[in-house]
């Protein structure tokens, strides 16, 4: 089978920054290598002028395809794939919902899923809230990109509210994620992962992660249960990454739903007893293994450094 893997940062030449290019190269290499080990041919765009046109052309020439792209572009690109070949990722309608953090937060909250509360401008500017901490992030955006902590009166007086951002409560706790593969009627949890996030002034910076991350058994069951519910509510398919904050009070809050492969897939591919690329194909064309069949061996630490980037060879060959 000929499979297109279209990763946006690599495909556009990394115009969004070095960090995103490192993540993109790592994810593309992981998926390409996995599909090739299964004897499939893999094609992908590299540093093209018109990424959407490249996706259109390559998907027409492929038996299946998957796109990794920023939230605000992923839906449109997924629609291109769906019109030309078999989409191995989430359906475009699911992508559209997940890309909108306000809509996703409201849907999950209405269904009883713990999420950080959305904060209005009026609430944030009240005199009795100056000691509270809030988070401001783009309504449409990837991971920790352009996420800011609003702490105290000084750095929030000049904050402007608009339809392109969301402000929520800040949840004190651990930054973790879950990785899930979903088919039509079944969601298969793979791992729980630790996210390395540091604060630079008021900005949050993603620096990598640990796969898998071992947590207390009850917390693990809770996170996996919530993950399966979220996937079903939003009609996710294929690989899905869900970002959580495991609060100091033991509550697992969903902070983001990523309807596409995430950076954690790089580590998962190295510790899982199944080929991740095979699971993605089985979610579309076959049957996923039972949950108790999924095992991990060892752990993998991903650090988004120049050294790591240099180790990811062959993308321009």
Domains with residue ranges and CATH for the chain: 2-88 (3.40.50.11770)
Could you tell me the two tokens for 64? 């299946």
More confident residue, 135 or 38: 38
The pLDDT confidence band at residue 204, using thresholds 50, 70 and 90, is: confident
Mean pLDDT of 219-239: 97
Residue 300 pairs in a beta bridge with 211
Which stretch of DSSP H or E encloses residue 242? strand 238-247
Peptide bond into 212 cis (omega under 30): yes
Rounded CA separation 280/32 (Å): 12
Distance CA 122, CA 112 (A): 25
pLDDT, tens digit, for every residue of 97-122? 999 999 999 999 999 999 999 998 78
Find the mean pLDDT for residues 222-234: 98
When the pLDDT of each residue in the chain is averaged and rounded to a whole number, the result is: 90
Q: CB under 8 Å to 158, separation ≥6 — which residues?
A: none
Adjacency order of strands within the sheet including 2-7: 41-43, 2-7, 64-68, 86-87
Could you give the 3-state DSSP secondary structure of residue 20?
A: helix
Asked if residue 278 has pLDDT above 50, the reply is: yes
pLDDT at 308: 45
Classify strands 187-200 and 203-211 as parallel, antiparallel or unpaired: antiparallel
| Distance from C-alpha of 176 to C-alpha of 143, rounded to nearest angstrom | 12
Q: Is 111 helix (H, G, I), strand (E, B) or coil?
A: coil
Over residues 195-218, the mean pLDDT reads 90
Q: pTM of the predicted model, to two decimals? A: 0.92
């Amino acid at each position: 089978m000929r499979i297109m893997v279209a990763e946006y940062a690599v495909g556009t030449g990394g115009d969004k920054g070095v960090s995103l290019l490192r993540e993109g190269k790592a994810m593309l290499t992981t998926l390409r290598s996995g599909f090739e080990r299964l004897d499939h041919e893999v094609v992908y765009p590299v540093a093209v002028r018109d990424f959407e046109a490249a996706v259109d052309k390559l998907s027409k020439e492929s038996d299946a395809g998957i796109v990794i792209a920023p939230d605000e572009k992923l839906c449109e690109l997924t629609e291109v794939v769906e019109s030309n070949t078999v989409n191995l990722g989430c359906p475009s309608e699911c992508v559209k919902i997940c890309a909108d953090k306000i809509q996703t937060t409201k849907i999950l909250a209405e269904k009883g899923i713990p999420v950080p509360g959305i904060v209005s401008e009026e609430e944030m500017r009240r005199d009795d809230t100056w000691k509270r901490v809030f988070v401001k992030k783009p309504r449409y955006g990837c991971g920790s990109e352009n996420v800011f902590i609003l702490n105290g009166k000084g750095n929030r007086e000049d904050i402007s509210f608009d339809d392109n951002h969301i402000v929520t409560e800040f949840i004190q706790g651990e930054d973790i994620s879950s990785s899930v593969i979903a088919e039509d009627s079944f969601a298969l949890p793979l791992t729980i992962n630790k996210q390395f996030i540091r604060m630079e002034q008021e900005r949050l910076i993603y620096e990598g992660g640990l796969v898998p991350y071992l947590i207390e058994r009850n917390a693990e069951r809770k996170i996996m249960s919530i993950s399966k519910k979220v996937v079903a509510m939003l009609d996710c398919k294929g690989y899905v990454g869900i970002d959580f904050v495991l609060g100091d009070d033991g509550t697992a809050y969903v902070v983001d739903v990523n309807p596409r492969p995430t950076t954690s897939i790089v580590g998962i591919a190295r510790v899982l007893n199944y080929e991740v690329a095979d699971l993605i194909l089985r979610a579309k064309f076959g049957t996923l293994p039972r949950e108790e069949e999924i095992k991990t061996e060892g752990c993998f630490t991903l650090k988004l450094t120049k050294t790591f980037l240099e180790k990811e060879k062959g993308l321009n060959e």
